[in-house]
Structure 1
Amino acid sequence: MSNGSLYTHVQNGIATVEFYHEASNSFPSELLDRLAKAFNLLSENNDVNVIVLKSEKEKAFCAGASFNELIAIDNLEDGKQFFMGFANVINAMRNCKKIIIGRVQGKAVGGGVGLAAACDYCFATEAASIKLSELSIGIGPFVIEPAVERKIGVAAFAELTLDATNWKTAYWAKEKGLYAKVFDTINEMDKEVDFFAEKLANYSNEALSSLKKVLWKGTEDWSLLLEERAEISGKLVLSEETKKALQKFKK
């Protein structure tokens, strides 16, 4: 449990992927690897038409990558591999043949915003504020940028990134295109998630898979692009300025 948990359940054409970590549903590298593999397996599962991605508990949806692992990086190769965690997940979601529905019940930071952006359709509650805080610790949201910008556009991405210490509301995220619908309560959201997933599960699997390819048209170079972005972040995290910012943030 120190590396969190990940459960996959398949019923009536719907696969539910649920992750948890005690540190605000953040992702150590091992858990990111398991998530990427889960999407790859479900992509080839003929019993699955649609996937619902969710996290446990009622507060944070996802606080991004593991801070403890981030602060321990001391060489370029480890830095690149750390940031490849979310790169591999985003590429697995992009290449997955199934439509992925995001269920965002609470705040999303950094990589958590990237996860929401990599979903094909996303439901949220009004508690699902978002923040990209990377600049405030001397790095940047380079790996998740393609996925986030694809959903909300360059101007909104710049606003979100440069205003690194402030939260944007769930309604702001909906207005920009990250969320499709925002609900007052988790109960209301879950009813709509279930209804929507059941509806999609009854559609043609072939049609949904073909639509998925259309939705992600123009992203064919992302395997290389996200690796290059991971290397940029891996270099930045080794700088003295970033190390000082991380130590200050830890305190």
Structure 2
Amino acid sequence: MEPYVTLLNKNNVGYIEFFHPNRNSIPSSILLELEQTIKRAGDDDTIKVIVLKSGGDRTFCAGASFNEVIAIENETQGKAFFSGFANVINAMRKCPKLIIGRVQGKTVGGGVGLAAATDYCLATKHASIRLSELSIGIGPFVIEPAVSRKIGKIAMSQMSIDAETFFSWEFAKDKGLYADVFDTIEALDESVKLLAEKLAGYNPEALIEMKKVMWKGTEDWDALLAERAKISGRLVLSKFTKNTLKRFR
């Protein structure tokens, strides 16, 4: 199947789904589509609540596209690529609609950042998480503010340092990344649907104001995440990172 990003409006709930055949990794083209689609859903008055999900029934998101990262030749290209993640997170942050995350499976790196940037996240017991960036020579710099905001600086640091370990759904739920966890995808989808449609029936002005309250104190993220993208864009050019990524290609 070809990569895609779709938006489906059903019962005033905007379901944004992204997919890539390589375990739902995210190249720059998907990042740009995600950013634009989130903004479009936020501007659509018929959409009251947004659900962010990925295609398939296994990995939620494998993070950055290794093949695209390997091809980066200079710091300008590097910053541009990692700015894609910054732009998606900022689009989610500034979107006036509440965003529910639907995480059906494992998620790595930038995928953890996406889950953390949702306003309320539900998952299955297959949804373990990993921040693998340090092991390949960079770091979770762009997504760190979103991850730390959701699970705390200590848990984020633990995951970053233990970069080759998948942390369990119990860890993710205990630290606050997941609000609830389900045995099956079917149970997850039913819960997501019920919650989203319930929220869509609430006072939309109250939802907008609640979103503002939840994200208060993040007004500097446009500049902050751009600066973090610059750091990642520089480190990705290191010999260590290039050699490491070639082994995973």
Same fold (TM over 0.5): yes
SS in 1 for 2:56: coil
Matched residue, 1:156: 155
> Structure 2: how far apart are the matches of 1:204 and 1:224?
32
* C-alpha displacement of 1:83: 0.3
Q: Are residue 200 (structure 1) and residue 189 (structure 2) matched?
A: no
SS in 2 for 1:25: coil
* C-alpha displacement of 1:132: 0.5
Matched residue, 1:122: 121
TM (norm. structure 1) is 0.98
* C-alpha displacement of 1:179: 0.4
Aligned pairs for 1:13-162 within 5 A: 13-162=12-161
Matched residue, 2:217: 218
SS in 2 for 1:101: strand
What 5-or-longer segments of structure 1 have no aligned partner?
none
Matched residue, 1:165: 164
> Structure 1: how far apart are the matches of 2:243 and 2:65?
18
* C-alpha displacement of 1:61: 0.3
> Structure 2: how far apart are the matches of 1:208 and 1:36?
21
* C-alpha displacement of 1:67: 0.9
> Structure 2: how far apart are the matches of 1:189 and 1:246?
34
Sequence identity, in percent?
Answer: 58
> Structure 2: how far apart are the matches of 1:149 and 1:28?
24
* C-alpha displacement of 1:13: 1.2
SS in 1 for 2:123: strand
Matched residue, 1:239: 238
> Structure 1: how far apart are the matches of 2:204 and 2:71?
44
Q: Report the AA paired with residue 137 of structure 1.
A: I
Matched residue, 2:5: 6
Aligned length, in residue pairs: 249
* C-alpha displacement of 1:44: 1.3
> Structure 2: how far apart are the matches of 1:243 and 1:190?
39
Q: Report the AA paired with residue 125 of structure 2.
A: E
What 5-or-longer segments of structure 2 have no aligned partner?
none
> Structure 2: how far apart are the matches of 1:148 and 1:98?
20
* C-alpha displacement of 1:10: 0.7
Q: Report the AA paired with residue 170 of structure 1.
A: W
* C-alpha displacement of 1:43: 1.2
TM (norm. structure 2) is 0.98
Q: Per-residue CA shift, 1:188-223, capped at 9, x if unaligned? A: 111111110110000011110110000000000000
SS in 1 for 2:155: helix
Q: Per-residue CA shift, 1:145-201, capped at 9, x if unaligned? A: 000000000110011100000100111100000000011111111111111011000
> Structure 1: how far apart are the matches of 2:181 and 2:50?
19
> Structure 1: how far apart are the matches of 2:198 and 2:214?
19
Q: Report the AA paired with residue 232 of structure 1.
A: I
* C-alpha displacement of 1:11: 2.0
